[in-house]
Amino acid sequence: MNKLLLRCLVLCVAAILLSCSDEQGNGTTTIRELSGGSEGSEYTLTISTTNGTVTKSPDKASYNAGDSVTLVAVPANGYKFSGWSGGISVTNGTTTIVMDSNLNVIANFRSLATPTYLLTINATNGTVTKSPDKTAYDAGDVVILTAHPNSGYALAAWSGNATGDSSTILIVMNGNKNITAIFESLEASTLVITFTGGTPPGTDSVIIALNDPNHVLGNLGYSASDPVYGNLTSSISVTGGSIYASRCSTYVVVYSVTNPAGDMAQKPRYVIVDCSAPVLTVLGANPDSITVGGVFHDPGATAVDNIDGTITSKIQITPATISTSVAGIDTVTYSVSDRAGNTSMEQRVVVVYKPLVKDTIAPVITLKGANPMNIALHATYTEPGATALDNIDGDISNKVIISGTVNTSVANTYTLYYNVSDNAGNAAVTKTRTVIVAGGNPGDNLPVITLKGKNPDSVKVGTGTYTDPGYSAIDPKDGDITASVKVTDLYGSPITISLGVAGVYTLEYSVTDKEGHSASVTRMVYVIGVSLDKTPPVITLIGAVLCTVSVGAVYTDPGATATDSVDGVVTSKIKAVLTTAAGAAVSMTTFTNMAGPYIITYTVSDAAGNAATPAIRHILVEDTTGMGASLTKKYGVPLATPLPSINTAYKTITVDGKGPSMSTVTTFTLNWDLPNKGLYQFSFGYSGPPNYLNFSPSQTFAQVGPQFTISGTGISGLDGSYYITASTTQCVWVKTDGSFAIVFNK
């Protein structure tokens, strides 16, 4: 950008200081090179040109130091002279240079067919300069616009064919341009423009749906008032570009009014075409699981829209209940639409399974909030609640039973009891909470938090970092305890407000004094606008891509991390789905009961809805006690890499283990191209009919842990699924259940 600005300034200064020329390049300029040639030296002058010619006078092969040479550029038919480059930088078609060094000069010509465009500038309470300053510009010309506000005014924004609020901007002339510089007063004005309507009503933002036929600005109200001249609404003028309801964008419409004394007020209104669907978040485990006969309690979902805010109550859930009478896999679909008709949909997979062993493990209760808890006499007691997790039933927090009472009218120490049982009847260890009621009148000993600034607060999307207006906390005994205030979300977790995407945030400010008395307040923050975030997050696996685990063992997934350029760390939003190699969903807690290959797929999306490239982990559940374990280890399968490229015919065939007879097979040929993921030959040669067969097995050769499933071989016991490893001298098929291996040698 600095080089472009410098080049533009050099051209402008050269044109002003040296001469004037019209669009055909006419005019005369004298250039004196200051390179310091010595008297008596000779120099050469080389001329280069296309689409035109150059005459030089005098026309000689070399020149003495100090000689003057006049150059005249003559364009060919259909072209015009556009400027000199190389040893000189001027725009006149006729120029005189002084020879003080060897020079290589280029004459540049531009087609007369090159279109020209007009640049119209509008400004009130200030001026705008353009460089170069011309009425018409050739296509591709770059123009520098600089805003100069009058005294007492400042640039508020550019509108029309330019945006932003920088005092200097660059415009590329690729069409006719109409640009307005909006200047606002730096002093408090008594002339006020007020908006009605809008979203929310009375604000400077108007939200309309994509292709909304009722987006006419006349449907929105506005007024102007002056303490001296009264109602000036009829004097308001409305300017701005066209509003296209068919395009997802933000448009600026400027309202202006001037009173009889010459005082002027301007106010921009932002019209946003809403194309952003609500952010739908599925709560709890996904996939989820429950035992046969159990009661499935849907953890639910939340929905937040960039305009409507929290619309969780509008979520439609299908089906309303899950049948657990038989084992199987069900899908729960969540869908929600905002007022503009933008719709989001998410699904939860629910696995209903029959436990292989009797459930004898009790759930575990964890209390939320303080224990013991101190509250003031006559204050209101709010139960913080508790969570309960079971190894089979999962999250059963909604089943927790709380017994006991707290009477805040009487100073005393109270005990609350928390109990829960899982579907198998296993009772958790009872947890207790001690609640101490003490103090005098309500609020006598409680700290007080005071929020500064607006509540609710709002900020435009994409404007950088949200700055908290501030707060203070005063305690009757401890004094100023502002430094002890914690700012979190409603669940006590750290919160970061992302201005890269529109949304609604709730900040909770809480503090506790030395005696344990607590206070808290909340502030709502609206991020308004259309998201500019188009970059998806990135998922990184923790641990190995291929993991092995023994049948019946407990598998603990290392997990993954996810980061986003706008939202930061979004690891908590990662969804992990476990499936068989064939794609059937299975339970994360019971899949190790059966040997075989499994796949965990990790997905995540940022707040703007950009989905990351899924990450894949392969898990092999092995039978480590039988023949299968020894064969997989013997031949090193499944591979920790994809199958390498191979094109070989193998003619020696043996069977390792109790496998099928391969006596009728004379040759196995494998032609696999890993870079192009092409399986071009997978064939048997037979000693008799059918003599030759080329198969098309379903395969995962391009993935970690390559395997395939073959059918139609005509050999008893051979059809089925196999792990595979291959080199130029040997190829081995190992049955995925480990019962036998087929070894092909060259």
Q: Write down the pLDDT at residue 218.
A: 54
List, in sequence order, every beta strand (DSSP E) within 529-674: 538-541, 546-550, 560-564, 568-569, 575-580, 596-603, 615-622, 646-650, 652-657, 665-673
Tokens representing residue 6 in the block: 């410098």
Residue 128 contacts residue 107 (beta carbons within 8 Å): no
Which amino acid is present at 462? G
Q: Write down the pLDDT at residue 464.
A: 64
Tokens representing residue 517 in the block: 């008395």
CB under 8 Å, gap of 24 or more: what pairs does 74-80 form? 75/24, 75/25, 75/51, 75/109, 76/51, 76/52, 76/109, 78/111, 78/112, 78/113, 79/51, 79/52, 79/109, 79/110, 79/111, 79/112, 80/23, 80/24, 80/25, 80/109, 80/110, 80/111, 80/112
Q: Write down the pLDDT at residue 215.
A: 58
Note the pTM of the prediction, 2 decimals.
0.31
Q: Write down the pLDDT at residue 223.
A: 87
Interacting residues of 322 by C-beta distance below 8 A, sequence separation 6+: 290, 296, 298, 330, 332, 350, 352
The pairing of beta strand 471-475 with beta strand 479-480:
antiparallel
Which residue shows structure tokens 């391009």? 702
Residue 238 contacts residue 223 (beta carbons within 8 Å): no
Interacting residues of 43 by C-beta distance below 8 A, sequence separation 6+: 37, 62, 63, 64, 65, 99, 100, 101, 102, 103
Angle at 565 between CA 563 and CA 163, to 5 degrees: 165
Helix (H) or strand (E) holding 510: strand 503-512
Q: Write down the pLDDT at residue 462.
A: 65
Q: Shortest CA distance to 209 belongs to which of 103, 342, 316, 115?
A: 342
Q: Rounded to an integer, what distance in angstroms lies between the CA atom of residue 588 and that of residue 100?
A: 83
Tokens representing residue 666 in the block: 């004379």
Q: Write down the pLDDT at residue 5.
A: 41
Residue 560 contacts residue 573 (beta carbons within 8 Å): no
Q: Rounded to an integer, what distance in angstroms lies between the CA atom of residue 7 and that of residue 405?
A: 80
Q: What is the 3-state secondary structure (H, E, C) of 607-627?
A: CCCCECCCEEEEEEEECCCCH
How confident is the chain (746 residues) per 10-residue block, as mean pLDDT? 40 38 43 46 90 92 91 90 80 87 88 84 92 83 90 84 88 90 70 73 67 62 80 85 71 84 81 82 87 86 86 91 84 88 88 75 90 80 91 88 91 89 91 77 67 82 77 82 88 74 82 86 77 80 85 89 84 90 80 81 85 87 63 83 93 92 93 93 92 92 88 92 93 88 94
Q: Write down the pLDDT at residue 4.
A: 40
Peptide bond into 287 cis (omega under 30): yes
b/e burial code for range 44-79 (CB count within 10 A of at least 16 → b)? ebebebebbebeeeeeeeebebebebebebebeeeb
Q: How many helices (H) and strands (E) does the chain have?
A: 2, 61
Q: 241 — phi, psi (to 5°)?
A: -70, 175
Q: Rounded to an integer, what distance in angstroms lies between the CA atom of residue 490 and that of residue 143?
A: 51
Residues in the chain: 746
Q: Rounded to an integer, what distance in angstroms lies between the CA atom of residue 226 and that of residue 82?
A: 54
Which residues, in sequence order, are bridge partners of residue 427? 421
Q: What is the 3-state secondary structure (H, E, C) of 40-88?
A: CCEECEEEEECCEEEEEECCCCCEECCCEEEEEEEECCCEEEEEEEECC
